[in-house]
Amino acid sequence: MNAVIIAVLVMLALSLFRVHVVIALLLGALAGGLVAGFSILETIEIFTGGLGGKATVALSYALLGGFAVMISRTGLPKVVVDFAVKMVGKEGESRKKSLSKVLLILIILIISSFSQNVIPIHIAFIPILIPPLLQVLNELKVDRRAIATVITFGLKAPYILLPAGFGLIFHDIIRMNMEESGLVINMADIPTAMLLPTLGMLVGLIIAVFFTYKKERSYEKVQLENEVAATEEPVSRLAIIVSLIAIVAALVVQLETKSMILSALVGIVILLFSGKINIKKTEDYLTDGMKMMAFIGFVMITASGFAAVIRETGHVDLLVEQSVNIIGGNQAIAALLMLLVGLFITMGIGSSFSTIPIIATLFVPLSLAVGLSPIATIALIGTAGALGDAGSPASDSTLGPTAGLNADGQHNHIWDTCVPTFVHFNIPLIIFGWIAAMVF
């Protein structure tokens, strides 16, 4: 038996049965180590030795979570909600309802996309922005499945393509794990390699919004508990200006230093010394933000240990050799096989960031064996990592939209978020990712 296959299958099976992904990764690593002939203690030692590789990424997530919570306390998200409600209301009174729908969808798309690169707060904006807009969506009879696809697109496509914010983390994870697996690449090649897969997601988004979920859908008017009215409390103009300065400063530092840790720290310091954040509550804000992002960080650290065990087994080369014999050097079949493997793994893990360390270990040797170029290999690894994130019940790219859209209990997680995003994003990603591998 191949230790790599056993480890991945155990991890995937446990994940699909809703075992916590950290436990699933640990048990999968143990199974792989035992099949390879290691003792339990030897496997644990290898596993823990590989954990440090993602400590920097985990700290980045923790600080970004704190930054996001502090930004929310300045009132900036409230201003954005206010603006969206007023603009949609104005357009709805003087123009056709369809124009109001397009405007609202565009606002949500822009904010979702900015949450990954420009204002890297990830899913923190959803519980702040979406529930207050549900009443407007209901009045316009917008199908929330369309909004779910819009938010998921914004949570994924920007970081897949652009090397800023969470995109910088994602691209660096691809580079680092490919190098650890024996293929040195240039970070500048990653956006080029991911352009076609991202275009595939855009095609899926257009189909979902303008075709699949174009028809009106009625929802009951439900009063939300603890709902905050858009005009309940005035927001300090100076606080908004300070928060915008903090965001711009964090973005500039990130682009100049390529460090998410320093970037988030600069933003936090500006907010703290502005006088617009209650310093006595700083510890609570940072703790809340770190809790919000801790899951992602722990999964990534655990996945790094899982990948270390897989590499140490020595069965990767054996798997590659067996795969090459089956494929017969056919690049087209090899590319499709790798994408499908990435889909199943990510569906189980629920995180494209955490999938990269696992699939890079397998895909780099296989790509080299069948003669695929470095850029084609980047496209396959990046796309395979993204596959399954949309549509996975355990992914923050689906859990986030559901949390906002189901605030009134009228949006089903599986059928209204997971299924729509799986169909409209994973299928195009496979097609366009495969084309990218063949073109490059």
List, for residues 73-89, the tens digit of each pLDDT value.
Answer: 787 766 766 776 666 55
Least confident range of 43-47, 234-238, 310-314: 234-238
List CB contacts of 400: < 8 A, sequence separation 6 or more. 122, 123, 126, 151, 155
CB atoms within 10 A of CB 229: 11
Q: What is the pLDDT of residues 366-392, one digit of tens each?
A: 898 889 999 999 999 999 888 878 887
Q: What is the pLDDT of residue 11?
A: 79
Q: Is the pLDDT of residue 341 over 90?
A: no
Q: What is the pLDDT of residue 207?
A: 97
Task: Please state the pTM of the whole predicted model.
Answer: 0.74
**Burial bucket for residue 217 (CB in 10 Å: 0-12, 13-18, 19+):** middle
In degrees rounded to 5, what are phi and psi of residue 186? -100, 130
Least confident range of 302-306, 329-333, 372-376, 398-402: 302-306
**Nearest residue to 400 (alpha-carbon basis) of 390, 410, 388:** 390
More confident residue, 40 or 129: 40
Q: Is the pLDDT of residue 234 over 80?
A: no
More confident residue, 435 or 225: 435
Q: Is the pLDDT of residue 232 over 60?
A: no
**Across all residues in the chain, what is the average pLDDT?**
82
- Supply 353's token pair: 């960031």
Q: What is the pLDDT of residue 151?
A: 96
Block residue for tokens 């998921």: 152
Percentage of residues in the chain with pLDDT exceeding 70? 86
| C-alpha pair distances (Å), 289 with each of 64, 67, 152, 298 | 7, 7, 21, 14
More confident residue, 157 or 344: 157
* Phi/psi-derived region of residue 177, left when phi > 0, alpha when psi is between -120 and 50, beta in every other case: alpha
SS3 readout for the chain: CCHHHHHHHHHHHHHHCCCCHHHHHHHHHHHHHHHCCCCHHHHHHHHHHCHHHHHHHHHHHHHHHHHHHHHHHCCHHHHHHHHHHHHHHHHHHHCCHHHHHHHHHHHHHHHHHHCCCCCCCHHHHHHHHHHHHHHHHHHHCCCHHHHHHHHHHHHHHHHHHCCCCHHHHHHHHHHHHHHHCCCCCCCCHHHHHHHHHHHHHHHHHHHHHHHHCCCCCCCCCCCCCCCCCCCCCCCCHHHHHHHHHHHHHHHHHHHHHCCHHHHHHHHHHHHHHCCCCCHHHHHHHHHHHHHHHHHHHHHHHHHHHHHHHHHHHCHHHHHHHHHHHHHCCCHHHHHHHHHHHHHHHHHHHCCHHHHHHHHHHHHHHHHHHHCCCHHHHHHHHHHHHHCCCCCCCCCHHHHHHHHHHCCCCCCCHHHHHHHHHHHHHHHHHHHHHHHHHHHC
Q: What is the pLDDT of residue 437?
A: 95
In degrees rounded to 5, what are phi and psi of residue 136? -65, -45
pLDDT band at 229 (very low <50, low <70, confident <90, very high): very low
Q: Is the pLDDT of residue 136 over 80?
A: yes
Q: Is the pLDDT of residue 226 over 50?
A: no
Q: What is the pLDDT of residue 87?
A: 63
More confident residue, 149 or 140: 149
pLDDT band at 228 (very low <50, low <70, confident <90, very high): very low
Looking at residues 43-47, what average pLDDT do you find? 91
